[in-house]
Structure 1
């Protein structure tokens, strides 16, 4: 006599935070930093790998970049969505137009509550032509799907088509221009790139421009800061926060992570979330 089994009902606790991003072998950034952030904030993290980046210590720590086959990416997304039915996703490094096309198709077919995009535009060592093709594909296929996009100064300047971003007013103008490309919210991050004693970010929702400031902790960029902000926003949105609440809290999370930074033999420190 055959027996029919009913699959268990998916639990909604803890909140599930999903990420589609690349691997960064030192652990400071990429999907490693994303999953660590999800865990630190109490969300169940799982993800799809898009590429493998390993710095080259013998070549000025340039990027060695290997894309994952698009069908393998599609397979990972298929099983992740089937297993957990996530409502919030963070998209990190994609790296090639083929990857962007695969991810955009999969994302557009799922009923997301929020899509958080960390628009990683270029890898050190990429050919300029290939990098431009990737940037254009990201702008055309992924940006319109995003609830929140979190560009740093370089990414904001590139996406906004500006020659320079040298002030908070410039950063706000970049956020407005990027908003016109389709995302609902733009969190343009000044970090240590703007002059002055404060790390300044700008959140633009199509109407309001909210300026967020905190004192700088040193003047050097810290690996994983951008990944951590976007991942923290993702985890908090998955737990029911509003976009503004998530952004404000994420800035506090990354500020503490920079304060508790981890040093290594690499020529850069990494964000470290304690506890």
Structure 2
């Protein structure tokens, strides 16, 4: 193991996404991983696999963060699903009390399983309290559209514009992901650092989203940054790893396939 990676995120019981995917990714990339669980998501097979969402008590989250950061010298953290304004308060406070070399934010703006009003409150709190701490943010197409305030993102040029607008919110690096939803034959990701635009593209693998791809992508960036890589090289590794995982994806009884965790060759 060449370093220690930390993640603050939700648990997803089928193993396809969330902290389970994060820790597998850390292991595959050769870093020691530990995590704080913020919420528990359990798909409901009796209700078309809808999300059942249960937040962890804020004091329990604070206790987990205290234990992890006291036990290990940590300077890179990935932030995944937080889920409630109370959780965001606790995590924001923890970020403020410590100097982090990198905070990688996977901005989960839709907290499935919540009422729309509660989800909106969470989105606003995340943008106001967590996003300013991010050195790297990895929004998907929906999140890029929401954060940028754009009505639509329908081309590579639109994705670049969205990345530039999100950069204005504070993060040093924006990785705006087009995925399968951006029109065209390629899966396009845009990296913007405030000056330069780097476009990562590769042919799409199917036309349907795969569970856990976003978690794996951000976790791979986190692991590579722990090992001392640049953001630019970390994004390249993450894209290769996600492509390998989608190629070897698992089918299940769910209406979606699940990414596997395969280190790029």
- For normalisation by structure 1, the TM-score amounts to 0.94
Equivalent position to 2:229, from 241, 244, 256: 241
Shift in Å at residue 274 of structure 1? 3.7
Q: 3-state DSSP class of the match of 2:159?
A: helix
Could you tell me whether the CA contact under 8 Å between 1:21 and 1:31 is conserved in 2? Answer: yes
> Where does residue 5 of structure 2 map in the other structure?
17
Shift in Å at residue 123 of structure 1? 2.6
> Where does residue 9 of structure 1 map in the other structure?
none
Q: Does 1:103 align with 2:112?
A: no
Question: Where do 4+ consecutive residues of structure 1 move more than 6 Å?
Answer: none
Equivalent position to 2:42, from 29, 54, 65: 54
Inter-partner Cα distance in structure 2 for 1:162 and 1:62: 28
Could you tell me whether the CA contact under 8 Å between 2:21 and 2:261 is conserved in 1? Answer: no
Q: Does 1:270 align with 2:258?
A: yes
Residues 185-224 of structure 1: pairs in structure 2 closer than 5 A: 185-224=173-212
- For normalisation by structure 2, the TM-score amounts to 0.97
Inter-partner Cα distance in structure 2 for 1:121 and 1:127: 13
Equivalent position to 2:141, from 153, 156, 166: 153
Kindly provide the CA deviation profile for residues 169-212 of structure 1, in whole angstroms up to 9, marking residues without a partner as x.
11111111111111110000001011111100000101111111
Give the count of matched residue pairs: 263
Q: 3-state DSSP class of the match of 2:24?
A: helix
> Where does residue 174 of structure 1 map in the other structure?
162
Q: 3-state DSSP class of the match of 2:37?
A: strand
Q: 3-state DSSP class of the match of 1:182?
A: coil
Shift in Å at residue 91 of structure 1? 0.2
